[in-house]
Amino acid sequence: EVSDHQFFLKYQVDMVIVPATTGQMGVLPGHVSTIAELKPGVLSVHEGNDITKYFVSSGFAFVHANSIADIVAVEAVPLDQIDPAAVQQGLAEFNAKLGSASTELEKAEAQIGVDVHSALNAALAG
């Protein structure tokens, strides 16, 4: 189920690896309850031998004691649907904006763009 701003994954899976701000976090059935903030990176969904990878820009993972994990991401795109050329172009554009930013807000917005596109780049190389 995908909307413009939020992405929900509802699967019964063997493991989900989320890009938490504290580092990669593997969630298995029976995981202790926890909340993790997501950073830009790759979310991997493992079902048997099948692994589906998504790029998430930010969000949260809510892990419940009943082996349910809710992943709420601002955006999540299947990794195989991302155009590497567009990522390179976006990274160049945000780096240029960062260089010419005159206000703190412009700098912050440009830095977020650089961070997300750098993480996308790393994910595609990955």
Q: What is the pLDDT of residues 8-61, one digit of tens each?
A: 555 567 888 999 999 999 888 888 889 999 999 999 988 888 999 999 988 998
Domain ranges across the chain: 7-80, 83-125
- Which pTM was predicted? 0.78
Task: Assign 107 to helix, strand or coil.
Answer: helix
| C-alpha to C-alpha distance for 43 and 20, rounded to whole angstroms | 9
96 pLDDT tier (thresholds 50, 70, 90): very high
User: What six digits make up the tokens of 78?
Assistant: 């299947």
| C-alpha to C-alpha distance for 120 and 105, rounded to whole angstroms | 23
Q: Which CATH fold topology does 7-80 show? A: ATP Synthase; domain 1 (2.60.15)
For residue 96, report the phi and psi dihedrals to the nearest 5 degrees.
-65, -45
